[in-house]
Each structure stands twice: as structure tokens, then as C-alpha cells.
Amino acid sequence: MELDVRQIPPRERHPRIFALFDRLMPGEGFVLVNDHDPKPLYYQFQAERPGQVDWSYLGGGRARLRHPGPRPWAGEALDSERGLMGFWHFLFVRAALLYLVCAAFLGTLLYLFPGLVGPFRPSHVHAGLVGFFLQMVMGVAYWMMPRPGGLRQEGLEGLTFILLNTGLFLRLLLEPLYLGGQMGLRPWLGLSGALQFLATLDFAYAMTKRVVTADMLRKLREERERRGG
């Protein structure tokens, strides 16, 4: 199937292309024929349909668009741009699940040995709220939130993970000792809190680049079209 948009008014081209693409069944595709390199359209697909299109540029203003459909996981490379988990997304989710198990284990210990409640209750709460819940939210957000213009944030993702888990590890390790009477550990606990706070700031900054409305995406597309023609 071929879609020739050269005779279609420029304002109507992208809506027509998206309308045809959205009617495709998995595995189906078409060849787009345009009068210029459709790079702005490619960026729009990456922003609005991340992981939902196989794009092959054929040259001369032609490109093949295909709905990839379901794919087997075995032996497939991780590629966040195709909707699959990247390296840091994988670590976030795996670490979150580890802390979920730790929180459940601590909860069981506190029930069986009430004498441990005093020094270990904050660790139990922190492992559940920060280690599992917050870490899972961050990992899934980095993985699934839109990527306007094919935005890549591996550096910010890694920084968030390292700051959060370094601070969390320090707190879980040292807080029971601090509550047990080792007051000299207070500065280290302050450091652990600062690291987690910095991780939160880093995450919030990264998300401001990806929380966009449909109107913002439209304006971004129009600006690229004016620049790229």
C-alpha cells in the first residue's frame, strides 16, 4: 500500500498519515511518498506513538511505516525507543521488587520479635515507601512517559538511580544503629537524606522535559516543519 501526500495541502498531510496508520493491523504497513525528507513526521511518531511504528527511510522523500505488532521477548535487544525496557528501567524495577521483599521480611520480623520494632520500624516503612513504591514509580515513568522528539535521558536515569539507592542503602544500614544509641551516625543519616532529595530533584527535572500536552506537541511539530520544510 502506498500513500502519496505530494498533492495534499501541508496542513492536512500529518493528520491524513496518522489516520491511515491508526487503521493498520499489527504487521501491516504502507509506503509514504512525500516531496521532502519526512524527518519532522518521524519525530512526531516517536513522540506520539512511541514503540508503535517501524520506520524505514527509503530516500527521495519515501519512507516505509509498519505497525510492528506483538514481538517475542526471547533474545530481543532492550530498546526503550521501541517501548521495551532500557538498562536503567530494568534496574529500577528489579531494585523495587527487591525492596518489596525486604519490606515484607522486615514486617514479618517485627511481628515475630516485637523488641525490634523500635530501631527497625522506620527502616521497614522506608523500604516500602521509598525502596519499593517511589522507585517503581520512577522506573516506570522513565520507561513509559512520552519522549518528545525522541528524547533520550540515560544520564539522568542513571543519576537518579544511583543517588536514590545510595541514600536509601545508607539509611537502611545506619538508622537502626542510630536509634540504638550511636548518635555519631547522625551526619551520615543527613547525607542519606540529601542524596534521596537530590534523586527526587533529578527525577522531577527529567519529567518536566517529558510532561507535554497535545497542543505542545502540535506546536513542536509546526516549529520543526517551519525549520525543516
Dump pLDDT digits (tens) for 172-209. 999 999 999 999 999 999 999 999 999 999 999 999 98
Please give, one letter per residue, the 3-state secondary structure of the chain: CEEECCCCCHHHHHHHHHHHHHCCCCCCEEEEECCCCCHHHHHHHHHHCCCCCEEEEEECCEEEEECCCCCCCCCCCCCHHHCCCCHHHHHHHHHHHHHHHHHHHHHHHHHHCHHHHHHHHHHHHHHHHHHHHHHHHHHHHHHHCCCHHHCCCHHHHHHHHHHHHHHHHHHHHHHHHHHCCCHHHHHHHHHHHHHHHHHHHHHHHHHHCCCCCHHHHHHHHHHHHHHHC
Per the CB < 8 A criterion, the answer to whether 133 and 97 are in contact is no
Q: What is the pLDDT at residue 73?
A: 34
In this prediction the pTM is: 0.63
Q: Are 95 and 106 in contact (CB under 8 A)?
A: no
Over residues 1-8, the mean pLDDT reads 84
- Residues 16-25: contacts with CB within 8 Å, 24+ apart? 17/41, 17/65, 18/48, 21/45, 21/49, 21/53, 21/65, 21/67, 24/66, 24/67, 25/67, 25/69
* Domain 2-70, architecture per CATH: 2-Layer Sandwich (3.30)
Residue 74 has pLDDT above 70, yes or no: no
Residues 6+ apart with CB under 8 A from 87: 78, 154
**Average pLDDT of the segment spanning 104-118:** 93
The answer to whether residue 112 scores a pLDDT higher than 80 is yes
More confident residue, 192 or 38: 192
pLDDT in tens, 81-97: 445 688 999 999 999 99
**What residues form DSSP beta bridges with 125?**
none
The pLDDT of residue 79: 43
The full set of domain ranges for the chain reads 2-70, 83-214
